[in-house]
């Protein structure tokens, strides 16, 4: 009987030992009282490998002061949460009196996340010195934490790394062995953080952004000296940061770049874009930024480019190699920017172009821009007198808005624009006196016409406008000078006026009568045969032929309206506008 008892005892404890060797606590265990922690070894004898997740959060203030009772744990296959925080409510589970993590000294492996959050008395992480493997790490809202020492043996993190709102942290010492982060690195709201020292061996941040946000004392990005690649770059609202020195080796940025609200940032020194393209770029609200010289290698922005509210920006010459923008180009409220020189090689903007800068005097930097895929807007450019610089622009995809430019006298620069693919809005330009530069626009590419509150604008009878007014498409004309005060007034002038548009002709060529009720004469000082083509405003050839000078020909078969007549005399080509009227 005695031998049988011993045999049963050995068998029982052997099975227990085997179970604990395989792991215990397969689900989530919440430890909310000090007694639960102190009796952990009794409640879970031999349990050193946790299969699930452990959450440590006190149920009453000051209840948890020590983690010594967890000293047998060496691995957690799930996660470890020391305190609980969420985006909606902030700290929803804290450990107000916990000053260290002693008791976790054997912990070497965490299969998922380690969250250390909402521990206001926590000073040290040194008990985690055996930890070598982890998938996600968040250190947040630990206001007394002075250092990250204790994380020294972590060389890679499989997911995101977040260091947020730790009020006493001055650097990131403790990450000396960290080489790679695979889910993004965010350092934010650490009000005493002076530098990023501690990340000196970090080489890559994959799949997500490097985000440095709202660290008001941060003066330098030193500490990131070995960083070569990141999924994107966000440097936002770091009030003391003067440049970007420290990221000179970060040459591979797969995603976008956001440099936003850094009040003391004078230059982008340190930013190197050797791969020549970025997905999206925002440079906004950097009050002291003077130039973009460090962007000289940039040739392509795949999506949008926002350059806005950088009040000290005087030069964008650093963009001199930029050729295409796959989204919108927004240049807004850069109060000191007088010139767009630097965009000289930009040939296309696939979405919208929006320009509103109160000191801008010239668009000469846009001389190669040929197409805009979306809406083109010029608004609140107080010193801009014309649109010269857009002479190569041929087409706009979704409309044109030229509004509230108080010094704009004419639209010169748009002479070669033939298609706008949407609305045409000319509104509240106090000095505008002429629309002549819009003469080449094909009226069938306009879907809505809006000319309003331009007090000096008295002539609106350009060919494109007159042609549009023959249609039944929406239109508003009002609040302009006499001659352009109403739709009927403009139509009346269109019917009474024929305006020619010579194209560098050296021969003396006249077309008359114009307007005509069907018969027309071309008179030339040359004796050779003249070829002609008559085009609709949409560019369709309506009639073609050849005549001698002063020979009359008939085009009464065409509907009433405005047309272009192209005349070829020798090697010269000229275009005039003619109006066909229905015979009364």
Question: What's residue 548's pLDDT?
Answer: 83
Residue 76 has pLDDT above 60, yes or no: yes
| Rounded average pLDDT over 246-270 | 96
Evaluate the CA torsion angle 293, 294, 300, 302 in order and state its sign: negative
- pLDDT tier, 2 (very low <50, low <70, confident <90, very high otherwise): very low
- Do 319 and 298 meet the contact criterion of CB atoms below 8 Å apart? yes
> Averaged over 276-300, what is the pLDDT?
96
* pLDDT value, residue 47: 96
Q: What is the pLDDT of residues 313-343, one digit of tens each?
A: 999 999 999 999 999 999 999 999 999 999 9
pLDDT of residue 503: 41
Structure letter (DSSP) for residue 71: T
CB 351 within 8 A of CB 373: yes
Confirm if 134 and 155 have CB atoms less than 8 A apart.
no
- The token duo for 64 is 């948890």
Query: Is 90 exceeded by the pLDDT of residue 8?
Result: no
pLDDT one-digit tens code per residue, 342-396: 999 999 999 999 999 999 999 999 999 999 999 999 999 999 999 999 999 999 9
pLDDT the model gives residue 467: 85
Give pLDDT, residue 192: 98
Q: Where are the domains of the chain?
A: 509-580
Superfamily grouping for domain 509-580: Macroglobulin (MG2) domain (2.60.40.1930)
The reported pLDDT for the residue numbered 507 is: 59
Structure-token pair, residue 510: 């006249």
Q: What are phi and psi of 468, to 5 degrees?
A: -65, -40
Residue 153 has pLDDT above 50, yes or no: yes
* Residue 431 to residue 547: CA distance in whole angstroms: 44
- Determine contact, residues 537/564, Cβ cutoff 8 Å: yes
Residue 7 has pLDDT above 50, yes or no: no
The strand ranges marked E within 318-407 are 324-325, 329-332, 348-349, 353-356, 371-372, 375-379, 395-396, 399-403
Q: Of 13-27, 407-421, 449-463, 485-499, where does mean pLDDT reach its minimum?
A: 13-27
* Sheet containing 519-524, strands listed edge to edge, beginning at the edge strand earlier in sequence: 509-512, 519-524, 551-554
Phi-psi region of 470 (alpha: psi -120 to 50; beta: other; left: phi over 0): alpha
Query: For a pLDDT cut of 90, what percent of the chain falls above it?
Result: 75
Provide, for the chain, the percentages of residues in helix, strand and coil under a 3-state DSSP scheme, each rounded to the nearest 5.
Answer: 10, 30, 60
Q: What is the mean pLDDT of residues 68-92?
A: 96
Rounded mean pLDDT of 35-60?
96
CA 112 to chain CA centroid, Å, is: 33
Query: Does 112 have pLDDT greater than 90?
Result: yes
> What are the backbone angles phi and psi of residue 170, rounded to the nearest 5°?
-105, -20
What is the reported pLDDT for 9?
36
CB 469 within 8 A of CB 445: no
Query: What are the tokens at 108?
Result: 């070497």
Q: pLDDT band at 494, cuts 50/70/90?
A: confident
* 432 — pLDDT class (breaks 50, 70, 90): very high
Return the pLDDT at 582: 64
**What whole-number distance in Å separates Cα of residue 399 and Cα of residue 376?**
6
Q: In angstroms, what CA-CA distances link 309 with 313, 330, 336? A: 9, 11, 10
Percent of the residues in the chain that have a pLDDT greater than 70, as a whole number = 92
pLDDT value at position 451? Answer: 98
pTM assigned to the model? 0.82
Q: Which has the higher per-residue pLDDT, 5 or 553?
A: 553
Question: What pLDDT, on a 0 to 100 scale, did the predictor assign at position 539?
Answer: 58
Least confident of 41-45, 468-472, 501-505: 501-505
Instruction: Indicate if the pLDDT at residue 278 is higher than 80.
Output: yes
The residue among 565, 554, 567, 494 whose CA lies nearest residue 518 is: 554
Q: What is the mean pLDDT of the chain?
A: 91
Among 358-362, 446-450, 513-517, the least confident range: 513-517
pLDDT confidence band for 472 (50 / 70 / 90): confident
Give the side-chain half-sphere CA count within 13 A for 402: 26
The rounded distance, in Å, linking the Cα atoms of 196 and 205 is 15
464 contacts 443 by C-beta, under 8 angstroms: yes
Whether the upstream peptide bond of residue 513 has omega within 30° of 0, thus cis, is yes
Across residues 444-468, what is the average pLDDT? 94
Closest to 407 (Cα-Cα) out of 454, 469, 459: 454
Of 166, 163, 89, 102, the C-alpha closest to 128 is: 102
């Amino acid at each position: 009987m005695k031998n049988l008892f011993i045999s049963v005892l050995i068998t029982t404890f052997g099975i227990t030992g085997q179970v604990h060797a395989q792991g215990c606590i397969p689900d989530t265990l919440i430890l909310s009282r000090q007694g639960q922690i102190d009796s952990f070894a009794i409640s879970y004898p031999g349990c050193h490998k946790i299969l699930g997740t452990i959450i440590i959060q006190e149920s009453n203030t000051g209840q948890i002061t020590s983690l010594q009772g967890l000293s047998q744990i060496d691995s957690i296959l799930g996660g470890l949460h020391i305190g609980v925080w969420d985006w909606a409510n902030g700290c929803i589970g804290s450990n107000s009196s916990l000053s260290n993590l002693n008791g976790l000294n054997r912990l070497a492996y965490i299969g998922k996340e380690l969250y250390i959050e909402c521990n206001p008395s926590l000073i040290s992480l040194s008990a985690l010195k055996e930890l070598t493997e982890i998938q996600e790490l968040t250190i947040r809202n630990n206001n007394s934490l002075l250092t990250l020492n204790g994380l020294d043996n972590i060389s890679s993190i499989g997911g995101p790394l977040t260091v947020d709102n730790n009020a006493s942290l001055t650097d990131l010492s403790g990450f000396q062995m960290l080489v790679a982060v695979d889910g993004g690195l965010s350092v934010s709201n650490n009000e005493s953080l002076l530098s990023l020292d501690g990340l000196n061996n970090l080489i890559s941040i994959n799949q997500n952004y490097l985000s440095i946000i709202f660290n008001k004392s941060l003066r330098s990005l030193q500490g990131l000296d070995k960083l070569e690649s990141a999924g994107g770059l966000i440097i936002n609202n770091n009030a003391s940061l003067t440049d970007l020195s420290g990221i000179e080796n970060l040459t591979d940025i797969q995603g976008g770049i956001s440099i936003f609200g850094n009040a003391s940032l004078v230059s982008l020194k340190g930013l190197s874009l050797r791969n020549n393209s970025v997905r999206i770029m925002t440079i906004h609200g950097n009050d002291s930024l003077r130039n973009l010289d460090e962007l000289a290698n940039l040739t392509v922005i795949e999506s949008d480019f926002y350059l806005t509210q950088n009040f000290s920006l005087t030069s964008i010459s650093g963009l001199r190699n930029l050729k295409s923008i796959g989204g919108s180009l927004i240049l807004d409220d850069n109060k000191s920017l007088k010139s767009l020189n630097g965009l000289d090689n930009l040939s296309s903007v696939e979405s919208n172009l929006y320009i509103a800068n109160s000191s801008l005097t010239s668009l000469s930097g846009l001389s190669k821009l040929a197409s805009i895929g979306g809406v083109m807007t010029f608004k609140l450019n107080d010193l801009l007198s014309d649109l010269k610089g857009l002479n190569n622009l041929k087409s706009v995809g979704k409309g044109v808005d030229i509004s509230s430019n108080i010094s704009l006298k004419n639209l010169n620069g748009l002479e070669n624009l033939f298609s706008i693919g949407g609305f045409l809005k000319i509104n509240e330009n106090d000095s505008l006196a002429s629309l002549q530069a819009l003469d080449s626009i094909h009226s069938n590419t306009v879907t809505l016409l809006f000319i309003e509150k331009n007090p000096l604008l008295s002539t609106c009878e350009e060919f494109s406008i007159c042609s549009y007014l023959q249609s039944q498409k929406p239109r508003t004309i009002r609040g302009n000078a006499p001659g352009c005060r109403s739709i009927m007034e403009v139509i009346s002038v269109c019917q009474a006026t024929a305006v020619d548009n010579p194209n560098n002709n050296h021969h003396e060529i006249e077309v008359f009568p114009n307007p005509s009720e069907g018969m027309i004469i071309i008179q030339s000082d040359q004796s050779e045969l003249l070829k002609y083509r008559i085009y609709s405003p949409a560019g369709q050839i309506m009639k073609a032929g050849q005549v001698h000078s002063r020979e009359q020909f008939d085009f009464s078969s065409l509907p009433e309206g405005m047309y272009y007549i192209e005349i070829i005399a020798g090697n010269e080509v000229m275009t005039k506008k003619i109006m066909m009227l229905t015979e009364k």
